[in-house]
Structure 1
Amino acid sequence: MAADVAEQPAGYARLLEPEHANAIAQVAATIAERRPRHVVFTARGTSDHAALYAAYLTEIRLGLPAGLASPSAITVFGARPDMSDALVVGVSQSGGSPDLAEVLRVARSTGALTLAVTNNPSSPLNEVAELSVDIAAGHERAVAATKTYTAELLALLMLIEGVRTGNGVLDAPERAALATLPELAARTLADPTPGELASRYRFARRLVTTGRGYAYPTAREAALKLMETSYLPALAFSGADLLHGPLAMADPDVPVLAVVGSGPGGTAMREVIARLGERRADVAVIGPADIDGAAARMPVPEVDERYAPLLDILPLQQLALSLALARGEDPDAPRGLKKVTATR
């Protein structure tokens, strides 16, 4: 897991190379030409969080309605929704889960444009999709996904911004901003704070993660990593949903990891931090600036809020790794799990 985490700056650089950037641009241009009226994502596990990030991007940047499909509606209940005029995107590191392939097969049969975003260009998901994007993350050693998750984020970002331009080619300012990501990721991973904070949560019985907007998928992915590697019950909430009831469980014995960026989502989170402070909750912030009411912070560089998920998750991956080791667990081989999970 440590080796996989460390490879992420190189993974960003690889996807930004002309070979992969041009391939994504061609797919984006095809999608723009087809002019879908809405976008449906389908995924499982970690990839579900990447799909959620892409759904936010789609609605905010493209102005198209977007949502996440429930594969069981098709595979278990036999539904055949009309997906004509839709773009249906399957996101999966392995592309090997039968239910995701079935969603794309049904969607394509009803007139949808289908796309597979995977780390395995020869996967069953790719075979049923009309278009495909290779996230080019390379072999991932650990069961808990890290570098494939961030490669999915970047590939989806490049794809959606390419659709926005209409010809698949990113604007010059966008290319310049993305070119800084490998160095920013390396700087983030070099910070020792996550390892130092691991002892803070060694004996925690449960934990809450939270964020709003683009940060919400990060909160969900962080909770999953903590559960996978440390077997620590972790509940993920959007900042808004946290205030609608779950706030009642917040107290000094329930640590909170809050992703707070510098954009509109981060601004909205400040009220959440204040309310958590009223409950005397132990809050650690992941973000570029100290926040009143937070007891600790895992620093990340300040970037456009669209890019922040590609950096914010890095210290949380490191925290999950360090915490698992501190609790005497093996993060490379979580009990009961395997690399490819096939669901129907």
Structure 2
Amino acid sequence: MARRLRPGQLMLNEIHEQPLVLERVWREEGGAVRALARRLRAQRPRAVVLAARGTSDNAALYGRYLIETHLRIPASLAAPSVVTLYGVRVKLRGMVVIGLSQSGRSPDIVRVIESARDAGATTVAITNDPRAPLARAADEVLVLHAGAERSVAATKTYTAQLMLLSLLVAHTAGNSRLIRAHEALPEAVARALQTAPAVADAAALLQRARECLVTSRGYNFATALEAALKLKESSRVVAEALSSADLLHGPIAVVERDFPVIVVAPPGRALGHLWGVLRRLVRRRARTIVLSSAARLLAPATVPVRLPDVAEEALSPHVYIVPLQLLAHHTARLRGLDPDHPQGLRKVTRVL
């Protein structure tokens, strides 16, 4: 007789699988990534459009930052309703359109890829199932190699999507340093899993919170968005993600004494700005959970979560999301919830 799993055990298991998943992506999909990168270098697309929903949409936002900073071409996020509700065929000839869906079965993303291909774009599917409708609709397919993801909350498929996007951009840009830096990611993610004691303290801070803010900037704005999504769907915390730049344009007014704010602050171009934001939050007596490897950022935090150093800022989202996934899990369990089966949610959302 099969042993009954504890609530949240699937999500926790899949969070801990991520170092092995990233190793598999590096080992199994490297050839396909290099071949696609050669095609893109030859094609020299004038722009890239990324189509996704939910967690995959947060990965797509990371891809946008990565493409624009390393390939220096415009990138945008598709609005699937333009195709599915309004029936418009967007002029995409000469562009690349990337559809991201862990299941490959999101009808609206499949439709966007089909429409883009008909419009003359080069289309790419990034999915965990190479036989899914999304894979069949696209010219090229990159596979996540994450294995079955049984928890409703996506974790290992998210970091696999980040890995494929960063590898693809690194190879297309011919950036050998960034390519080599991927080899260290499985170990960095394994070390990020060791933040569990600090994450437990952070979960205790959020246990009775009704709402919180999550903030970062640059590559890790996607991390803030994904963390907020995980907290909402798993823990029922009304978590809002804001770029730290946008936070200062008014929303910081909601931060009063003891208001919880999560700050994602890896070393890099945004660190100085995030230090200034954190100082303002501390002056407002916010209760801060700070993720960083920089001692200066960790010192004033209510709950500091020390992360390992990541050689390239562009790869820090792969590592910094891990303790936030653990935070969503632990907070849900403290609140008596089962993050494997959030109320009213299913693994595959079918929207047109």
TM-score using structure 2 length: 0.94
Instruction: Quote the residue 2:345 is aligned against.
Output: 337
1:307 aligns with 315
Dislocated runs of 4+, deviation >3 Å: 173-176
By how many angstroms is 1:293 displaced?
A: 4.0
Structure 2 residue aligned with 1:176, among 180, 184, 196?
180
For residues 253 and 204 of structure 1, what CA distance do their matches in structure 2 show? Answer: 10
Number of residue pairs the alignment of both structures matches: 338
C-alpha distance in structure 2 between counterparts of 1:50 and 1:135, whole Å: 13
1:309-330, CA deviations, whole angstroms, 9 ceiling, x for partnerless residues? 0000000001111110000000
Could you tell me which of 120, 125, 129 is aligned with 1:120?
129
Work out whether 1:8 is the aligned partner of 2:18. yes
In the alignment, the residues of structure 2 paired with residue 57 and residue 188 of structure 1 have an alpha-carbon distance, to the nearest angstrom, of 22
Q: Which residue number in structure 2 is paired with residue 147 of structure 1?
A: 156
Equivalent residues in 2 for 1:138-287, closer than 5 Å: 138-165=147-174, 171=176, 173-191=177-195, 192-287=197-292
Q: In the alignment, which of 320, 331, 334 is matched to residue 328 of structure 2?
A: 320
Task: Kindly indicate whether the alpha-carbon contact (under 8 Å) linking 1:204 and 1:253 is maintained by their aligned counterparts in 2.
Answer: no
Q: Offset of 1:176 from its aligned partner?
A: 3.2
Q: Counterparts of 1:288 and 1:250 in 2: how far apart (Å)?
A: 25
CA–CA separation in structure 2 for the residues paired with 1:195 and 1:33: 49
Q: Deviations over 1:144-169 (max 9, x none)?
A: 0000000000011001111112xxxx
> Residue 143 of structure 1: SS of its match in structure 2?
coil
Question: Unaligned regions of 5+ residues in structure 1, if any?
Answer: none
Alpha carbons 2:258, 2:285 under 8 Å: kept = no
SS at match of 2:281: helix
Asked if the contact 1:118–1:134 (Cα under 8 Å) also holds between the matched residues in 2, the reply is: yes
Structure 1 position 35, deviation (Å): 1.0
Deviations 1:285-312 (A, max 9, x none): 1111231542221111121211100000
Equivalent residue letter for 1:316: L
Amino acid at match of 1:324: A
Report the 3-state secondary structure (helix = DSSP H, G, I; strand = E; otherwise coil) of the residue aligned with 1:216.
Answer: helix
1:298 corresponding residue in structure 2: 305
Instruction: Look up the match of 2:3.
Output: none
1:23 CA drift (Å): 1.5
Matched, 1:66 2:75: yes
Q: Which moved more, 1:284-293 or 1:212-221?
A: 284-293
What residue in structure 2 maps to residue 85 of structure 1?
Answer: 94
Looking at structure 2, the residues matched to 46 and 6 of structure 1 have their Cα atoms a distance apart, in angstroms, of: 18
SS in structure 1 at match of 2:270: helix
Q: Partner of 1:105 in structure 2?
A: 114
In 1, the alpha carbon distance for the partners of 2:93 and 2:150 equals 39
Taking the aligned partners of 2:41 and 2:350, their CA distance within structure 1 comes to 32
Output one character per residue of 1:76-119: Cα deviation in whole Å (capped at 9) or x when no partner.
Answer: 11222101111100011011011111111111111111110111
SS class of match (1:180): helix
Backbone CA RMSD of aligned residues: 1.2
Distance 1:88 1:222 in 2: 26
Q: State the Cα distance separating 1:268 from its structure 2 match.
A: 2.1
Aligned-pair identity in percent equals 43
AA matched with 1:231: R
Equivalent residue letter for 1:179: E
In structure 2, C-alpha distance between the alignment counterparts of 1:70 and 1:8, rounded to whole Å? 30
Q: Is the 8 A contact 2:89 2:115 kept in 1?
A: yes
Say whether the 8 Å CA contact 1:90–1:125 is kept in structure 2.
yes
